[in-house]
Amino acid sequence: MDAPSPNAPQSRDRLSEITLDPKSLGRVNANIEHEREVAIFDIIDGNSFAVEGLDDGPYTLVLGIADDRLQMNIGTAETESLVLHSVPLTPLKRIMKDYFLVCESYYDAVRTAPPARIQAIDVNRRGLHDEGSTVLREKLLTKIVVDNDTARRLFTLLCALHWKG
């Protein structure tokens, strides 16, 4: 399959802007802040984000956490809020807890461990990340359809929001 032409119009089923609700942000260290910034950049750079029953994209997204739920306020450049979608965090809590532990081990290992140890930890970290993004994608599926890469990056943002340092 050929890559799309650089002059081809972009799909409307995509995110053009992502904002994190400042009330949802906890203390973060430099690693978490970096993960957050990279995830937002990567999502905006290329994503697939379709909202069930709407064809108004590209969409804007404000992500936050309230009442143990991921709050997704979806709008457009013209309309601040079209849909508010809420995703329960309960199915993701164990994965996020394990992911946080492995990430801490990874960041510690990067400073002092041999490359083989860092690689082993990273394989575990990626596996948990894949599992979390799959669960998140399934929870979104009733209202929002995303591709694998977008789900992975949204899981990164969810973890960055949920991280309490």
| pLDDT of 23 | 80
Q: Are 115 and 13 in contact (CB under 8 A)?
A: no
Which two three-digit tokens encode residue 162? 């949920």
pLDDT tens by residue, the chain, 165 residues: 444 444 445 678 999 999 988 787 766 677 777 878 888 999 999 999 999 999 888 999 999 998 889 999 999 989 888 899 999 999 999 999 999 899 889 888 989 999 999 999 999 999 999 999 999 999 998 899 999 999 999 998 888 887 654
Query: Domain map of the chain by residue range?
Result: 15-162
Kindly list the strands in the beta sheet with 15-20, ordered across the sheet, starting from the edge strand earlier in the chain.
Answer: 15-20, 59-66, 69-75, 83-88
Q: What would you report as the CA-atom Rg of the chain, rounded to the nearest whole angstrom? A: 17
CA distances from residue 72 to 85, 121, 158 in whole angstroms, order as listed = 5, 31, 11
Task: Label residue 128 exposed, middle or buried (CB < 10 Å: 0-12, 13-18, 19+).
Answer: buried
| CB-count burial class (<10 Å; 0-12, 13-18, 19+) for 2 | exposed
Residues 32, 165: Cα–Cα separation, whole Å:
9
Contact 22, 62 (CB under 8 A): no
Q: How far is CA 125 from the centre of its chain?
A: 15
Q: Are 50 and 95 in contact (CB under 8 A)?
A: no
Residues 11-22: pLDDT tens digits?
Answer: 789 999 999 887
| Structure tokens that stand for 79 in this block | 């309309």
pTM of the full predicted structure?
0.84
